[in-house]
């Protein structure tokens, strides 16, 4: 059998509301042409993010009832700690309420002004936390990782030569750690190979610098290694994940992705000194170290989610169902980033809307047109998110202007995805009718969340 089916059946359903194109044109205008400002109930299929939007299993919901809500030393913490330790293998397991809380605590404890932190591509909250501590965040993804059409199997790899040069030039005293993100979200959900992690480990050893992973999507990365890296085809996703973490001194994780959590995060570390500093800071903002800003029931659900995410049937379906969307769009001639990522498909806004100039915000305009046409919500990762005017008012645009279709875990069926594919195909055929947009209000930090827009030609 070729067909890869959803490896679950549905026990509880949540209705989604149909709207008409007229209603949607009105709603998005009211929202200042910003999909982040829509009410979620006005969205038919929500592909804004795969973070915290997954469906929990019957086992996780049963675990919720088992949660131990004791302030200190709850049973749920010890279950969580044991599960994490068996996969990650580090000495200290510290729960936090989400990924960026882990980033902030780590930065607060060990990052100082003047530090430099190399990585493949830092996620935007990671970069913001590093910069808030006075450090420079340096992205050293391989050149192939910046080429939208290149079919390299591990486009998330860090450029080892560039890493070595960076460590030589900066010097180990100013590099608190190297941070590799698996999969590389900001680079299109692309995986990092075991060979590349080994190479990074060897360089870090030579300079005596710790190597950490941002492990938000570690299970998807492990499965890509199984599919694409010679020598790993017979290993289980768990064995591969363990081998990945065994090369590191620690990891940060947003458990809203590859732990099937609606909320949750993690710091896993070997260093006693760092763990002590982090726990001290954690008490000030997150809570006691055995709950870290979460309820006992969350810890139960996350421990179960970490086990479920490594099931091979799930990962086979996950990677195949994301690729299904990419393959059909590609076959219809829609410009998409390749190879297809683990958690998302990325449309190339500039090629899709080649009649719009950068100042007309092609990716953003595409995301608005997609909502108007289909009720599907996607997220621009391009001109609006990263474009900056300089002191003279001239705009600097990022290398890529993408629209991310992030697929929540275990939430939508194949017919939902067929609807998305059909809608994007129709929109692509009529793409010349997509109108450009311009800023009406643009906050200077993280503008995409709250900016408002108007049609480019309407003054």
Q: Name residues whose C-beta falls within 8 Å of residue 422's C-beta, 6 or more positions apart in sequence.
A: none
Binding mask 182-211 for ligand F0G (x = CB under 6 A): ---x--------------------------
Site residues for ligand F0G, 123-152, by CB under 6 A, read: 123, 125-126
Q: Please give the Cα distance from 112 to 287 (Å, whole number).
A: 24
Of 95-103, 149-157, 222-230, 411-419: span binding ligand F0G (CB under 6 A): 95-103
Q: Which is nearer to ligand F0G, 76 or 121 (CB)?
A: 121
Report the nearest approach of ligand F0G to the CB of residue 181 (Å). 5
214 closest CA partner among 188, 251, 249 = 251
Strands 452-455 and 437-441: antiparallel
Among 46, 139, 214, 220, binds ligand F0G (CB under 6 A): 214
Site residues for ligand F0G, 264-293, by CB under 6 A, read: 265
Among 190, 254, 271, 358, binds ligand F0G (CB under 6 A): 254
Report the nearest approach of ligand F0G to the CB of residue 406 (Å). 6
Is 100 an interacting residue with respect to ligand F0G (CB under 6 A)?
yes
Report the nearest approach of ligand F0G to the CB of residue 135 (Å). 16
Is 378 an interacting residue with respect to ligand F0G (CB under 6 A)?
no
Is 98 an interacting residue with respect to ligand F0G (CB under 6 A)?
yes
Cα–Cα distances in angstroms (integers) from residue 241 to residues 89, 110, 309, in the given order: 10, 26, 11
Is 248 an interacting residue with respect to ligand F0G (CB under 6 A)?
no
375 closest CA partner among 36, 17, 52, 53 = 17
Q: Which is nearer to ligand F0G, 194 or 379 (CB)?
A: 379
Q: Which is nearer to ligand F0G, 181 or 365 (CB)?
A: 181
- H or E element at residue 379: strand 379-381
3-state secondary structure of 393: coil
Handedness of CA 364, 181, 255, 303 (dihedral sign): positive
Of 33-41, 93-101, 149-157, 268-276: span binding ligand F0G (CB under 6 A): 93-101
Report the nearest approach of ligand F0G to the CB of residue 354 (Å). 27
Residue nearest to ligand F0G according to CB distances in the complex? 99
Report the nearest approach of ligand F0G to the CB of residue 100 (Å). 3
Q: Please give the Cα distance from 95 to 263 (Å, whole number).
A: 11
Phi and psi for 11 in degrees, rounded to 5? Answer: -110, -25
Q: How many residues bind ligand F0G (CB under 6 A)?
A: 15
Q: Which is nearer to ligand F0G, 53 or 76 (CB)?
A: 53
Beta bridge partners of 212: 179, 250
Binding mask 17-56 for ligand F0G (x = CB under 6 A): --------------------------------x-x-----
Is 216 an interacting residue with respect to ligand F0G (CB under 6 A)?
yes
Q: Are 366 and 353 in contact (CB under 8 A)?
A: yes
Q: Are 213 and 102 in contact (CB under 8 A)?
A: no
Cα–Cα distances in angstroms (integers) from residue 302 to residues 82, 92, 249, 260, in the given order: 12, 17, 22, 7
- H or E element at residue 325: helix 312-331
Residue with tokens 């990263």: 386
DSSP state of 387: -
Residues marked as catalytic: 71, 123-124, 214, 216, 257, 448
Q: And the tokens for 423? A: 């809608």
Residues that bind ligand F0G (CB under 6 A): 49, 51, 98-100, 123, 125-126, 181, 185, 214, 216, 254, 256, 265
């Amino acid at each position: 059998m070729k067909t890869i089916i959803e490896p679950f059946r549905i026990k509880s359903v949540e209705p989604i509301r149909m709207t008409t194109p007229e209603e949607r044109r009105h709603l998005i205008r009211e929202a200042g042409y910003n999909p982040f400002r829509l009410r979620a109930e006005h969205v038919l299929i929500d592909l804004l993010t795969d973070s915290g939007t997954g469906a929990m299993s019957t086992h996780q919901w049963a675990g919720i009832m088992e949660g131990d809500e004791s302030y200190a030393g709850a049973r749920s913490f010890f279950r969580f700690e044991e599960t994490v330790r068996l996969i990650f293998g580090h000495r200290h397991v510290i729960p936090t309420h989400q990924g960026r809380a882990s980033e902030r605590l780590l930065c607060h404890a060990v990052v100082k002004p003047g530090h430099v932190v190399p990585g493949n591509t830092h996620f935007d909250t990671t970069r913001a936390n590093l910069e808030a501590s006075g450090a420079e965040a340096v992205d050293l993804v391989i050149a192939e990782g910046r080429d939208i059409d290149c079919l390299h199997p591990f486009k998330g790899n860090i450029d080892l030569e560039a890493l070595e040069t960076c460590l030589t030039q900066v010097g180990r005293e100013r590099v608190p750690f190297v941070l590799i993100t698996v999969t590389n979200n900001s680079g299109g959900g692309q995986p990092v190979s075991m060979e590349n992690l080994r190479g990074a480990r060897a360089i870090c050893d030579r300079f005596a610098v710790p190597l950490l992973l941002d492990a938000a999507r570690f299970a998807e990365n492990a499965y890509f290694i199984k599919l694409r890296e010679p020598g790993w085809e017979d290993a289980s996703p768990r064995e591969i994940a363990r081998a990945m973490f065994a090369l590191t001194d620690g990891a940060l994780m947003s458990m809203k992705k590859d732990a099937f959590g609606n909320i949750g995060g993690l710091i896993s570390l070997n260093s006693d000194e760092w763990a002590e500093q982090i726990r001290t800071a954690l008490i000030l903002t997150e809570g006691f170290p055995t709950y870290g800003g979460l309820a006992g029931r969350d810890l139960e659900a996350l421990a179960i989610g970490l086990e479920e995410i490594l099931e091979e049937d799930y990962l086979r379906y996950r990677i195949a169902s994301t690729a299904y969307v990419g393959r059909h769009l590609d076959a219809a001639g829609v410009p998409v980033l390749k190879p297809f990522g683990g958690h998302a498909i990325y449309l190339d806004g500039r090629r899709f809307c080649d009649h719009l100039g950068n100042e007309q915000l092609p990716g953003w305009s595409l995301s608005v047109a997609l909502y108007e046409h289909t009720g599907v919500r996607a997220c621009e990762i391009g001109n609006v998110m990263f474009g900056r005017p300089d002191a003279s008012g001239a705009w600097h645009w990022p290398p890529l202007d993408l629209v991310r279709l992030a697929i929540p875990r275990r939430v939508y069926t194949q017919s939902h995805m067929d609807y998305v594919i059909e809608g994007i195909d129709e929109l692509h055929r009529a793409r010349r009718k997509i109108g450009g947009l311009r800023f009406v209000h643009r906050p200077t930090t993280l503008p995409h969340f709250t900016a408002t827009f108007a049609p480019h030609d309407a003054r």
